[in-house]
Amino acid sequence: MAGRSERVSTYTSGSGDTEGRDGEQKRNLWTSMLESVASGKKLPEKNLLVLGGTPESQREFLESLSGTETGRNFDRQKTPPVANNFALGYTYYDVLDADQDDTLARVSLYLLSQPSTEFASLVSPLLTPEAVPHSALVILLDWSQPHLWLRKIWNCIQVLEEVMGRVSTDARNEMEEIMSSWKERGRGGATINLDGTPSATATSGDGDGLLPLGPGEWAEPLGLPLCVVCQHSQKMEFLEKNKGWKEPDFDTVLQYLRTVLLRHGASPIYTSQNTPSQLPLLIHSTLGITSLLKRQPLKHNVIDRDKIVVAPNWDSWGKIRILGGVFDAELVSRGWEEDIKLPPGSTAPTMEDYGYDGRDSNEGPQASRGPSAIAQYEYWCRDPNSGGLAVVESAMSDGSAVGVESENPQQFLERQLKILEAFKTKAPDKAGNNLSTASRQLDFTDEKSVNDHIGPVQFNMGGIQVDADDMLQRLKDRNAHAASPELEDAGKESPAGNMAKKYDSEQLQSFFSGLMNRTAGSADSPRS
């Protein structure tokens, strides 16, 4: 019985924290289970730094990535707002799996509409050693301004160079490792996804069979993967139909773009509002986000001009030259190298800076153009003698963007005032005579216009319609004829002249008065 009384229940003590054999505190079973579940539901976080574009084009880029424009995101009310109107903007979206049930990752977008070195202090804290492996870069371009593409890319790279100089040493070392791994992807002769996982046909080699880098490839790595998105490619059709663009012109633009981006290992892609693109696949695979249900490989496309996609480590100078023309990839690549070396805050050179003024059309751009790739490209875009796209900046606005520099209104009026004062001092009398003559002509013109407006004055005299103006004119002519001496002498000899004397004005007046005053009875008498 005593043994039964010594039995004590240990249920309550087992459900809480207990001491182990060595006196250490054991963790609660439920706490460990909840922590494991919470860590399992934690979403992978990815970062995307977007440079360039406008707030509207950045929203379109976000919609194309999250699928809100195609109806794939059914809950539009939960779409986070986009704060990109001031300095460095921010937004995020969740990447859903193919079945739209599982969330693969959450992507945070940091938006910088106006790339400037002044904003480098805002961007550099984002690139921590922990965030660098999960980050990528995006530069937004627009087909409404293709002549500014190289200059905009250059401005963004200037900002990135300033940002990379402000990051910590650990983050910089992490970037070097990332760039080393990106240089090796896709060079083993087998298909390798952008996220680094080999496909089913890939060989499990240790890197001994990697193809060497070609000329101009990865010469200027930026520390993070770069994608250049050329939006609104549907405007290419407008350029072709209304502005005279030809297929070689679009090819030349693409050749410049691919040659420049080849030095950074970047991926150019064209997107359109009318057709779907591989943009989500390119961006998500670059960030290491892949579907658990459906793995899709990224397919390069350099044939469809409005659906261009070039994957990293695929392009080369030989593939760029296939587009034809007189394009010199080596010269452009060397010029871009000179542009990248310019110090921050400097201005990109032009063809005029190298002494080419375009006066001799037979020389062309190859004769005296400088090493700057930006100068070469912008010269080709503006010079009609080189076969480029003259006045390309007005292509999207039906010529309204072609500006004419007008003179200052105050300077123009001041010059005209001096001319008027000089005219008055040289010929004051002539000006006065001209003024009086003009006033007389004006009076005569006014009188004539009034008479034409009123018309002739007529009245009825005994059933006869009489024009008063015509009658007065006839009387004036008769009096003038009678007052002439020569006509008066001639009138003495002729019976007509004697009759004119005999029947003077008073007699004519009494005659017409009799016609008006006679009665109807007298008019019907036989005597009359």
Any domain includes 348: no
Cβ(339)–Cβ(376) below 8 Å: no
Residue 192 neighbours by CB distance under 10 Å: 19
The DSSP bridge pattern shows strands 45-51 and 103-112 to be: parallel
Task: Say whether both 410 and 280 belong to one domain.
Answer: no
Positive or negative: CA dihedral 234, 236, 237, 239 = positive
Task: Say whether both 186 and 262 belong to one domain.
Answer: yes
DSSP for residue 264: T
CA-to-CA dists, residue 54 to 82, 87, 113, 131, 462, angstroms: 12, 12, 6, 26, 90
Task: Say whether both 48 and 183 belong to one domain.
Answer: yes
Query: DSSP labels for 358-369?
Result: S--TTTHHHHH-
Domain-terminating residue out of 285, 314, 341: 341
Here the tokens at position 264 are: 């950074």
- Per-residue pLDDT averaged across 78-97, rounded? 83
Any domain includes 450: no
Residue 23 banded pLDDT, cuts 50, 70, 90: low
- From the list 69, 411, 17, the residue with the least C-alpha distance to 231 is 69
Residue 111 has pLDDT above 50, yes or no: yes
Q: Select the more confidently predicted residue: 487 or 251.
A: 251
Task: Say whether both 308 and 221 belong to one domain.
Answer: yes
Q: At 280, is the secondary structure helix, strand, or coil?
A: helix
∠ at Cα 164 (159, 170), nearest 5°? Answer: 165
Any domain includes 22: no
The Cα–Cα gap between 291 and 289 comes to 7
Among 105-114, 431-440, 491-500, which range has the highest average pLDDT? 105-114
Residue 498 has pLDDT above 70, yes or no: no
Task: Say whether both 336 and 481 belong to one domain.
Answer: no
Query: 488: exposed, middle or buried (C-beta count within 10 Å: 0-12, 13-18, 19+)?
Result: middle
Task: Say whether both 218 and 299 belong to one domain.
Answer: yes
Task: Say whether both 87 and 136 belong to one domain.
Answer: yes
User: Over the stretch 380-416, which tens digit does the pLDDT of each residue have?
Assistant: 887 555 555 654 544 444 444 444 567 788 888 888 8
The Cα–Cα gap between 186 and 194 comes to 8
Q: What is the mean pLDDT of the chain?
A: 75
Query: 250: exposed, middle or buried (C-beta count within 10 Å: 0-12, 13-18, 19+)?
Result: buried
Token look-up 């194309």 returns 64
Any domain includes 430: yes
- Residue at 316: amino acid letter: S
Buried b (16+ CB within 10 A) or exposed e, 315-345: bbbebbeebeeebbbeebbebbeebbeeeee
Any domain includes 9: no
DSSP for residue 24: P
Distance of CA 296 to the CA centre of its chain: 33
Rg of the chain over Cα atoms, rounded to whole angstroms, equals 47
Token look-up 């043994």 returns 3
Cβ(47)–Cβ(39) below 8 Å: no
Domain-terminating residue out of 315, 341, 367: 341
- From the list 279, 167, 364, the residue with the least C-alpha distance to 175 is 167
Task: Say whether both 149 and 83 belong to one domain.
Answer: yes
Distance of CA 432 to the CA centre of its chain: 57
Domain count for the chain, please give it.
Answer: 3
What number of CA atoms fall less than 13 Å from residue 116's CA on the CB side? 6
**pLDDT attached to residue 455:** 62
Domain-terminating residue out of 289, 318, 341: 341
User: Over the stretch 134-184, which tens digit does the pLDDT of each residue have?
Assistant: 999 999 999 999 999 999 999 999 999 999 999 999 999 999 999 999 988
DSSP for residue 70: T
Cβ(111)–Cβ(88) below 8 Å: yes
Residue 505 has pLDDT above 80, yes or no: no
Q: Against a cut of 0.85, is the pTM above it?
A: no
- Residue at 338: amino acid letter: E
Cβ(263)–Cβ(228) below 8 Å: no
DSSP for residue 118: G
Cβ(365)–Cβ(380) below 8 Å: yes
The Cα–Cα gap between 442 and 439 comes to 5
Residue 233 has pLDDT above 50, yes or no: yes
Any domain includes 475: yes
Q: What domain range is 434 assigned to? A: 406-440
Task: Say whether both 462 and 436 belong to one domain.
Answer: no
Task: Say whether both 185 and 280 belong to one domain.
Answer: yes
Distance of CA 213 to the CA centre of its chain: 36
Any domain includes 88: yes
Task: Say whether both 184 and 89 belong to one domain.
Answer: yes
Any domain includes 521: no
DSSP-assigned beta bridge partners for residue 230: 141, 270
DSSP for residue 300: -
Task: Say whether both 171 and 126 belong to one domain.
Answer: yes
CATH code for the domain in which residue 223 is found = 3.40.50.300
**pLDDT attached to residue 430:** 55
Residue 113 has pLDDT above 90, yes or no: no
Residue 443 banded pLDDT, cuts 50, 70, 90: low
Residue 501 banded pLDDT, cuts 50, 70, 90: low
Least trusted range by pLDDT, from 9-13, 14-18, 210-214, 263-267: 9-13
The Cα–Cα gap between 303 and 407 comes to 48
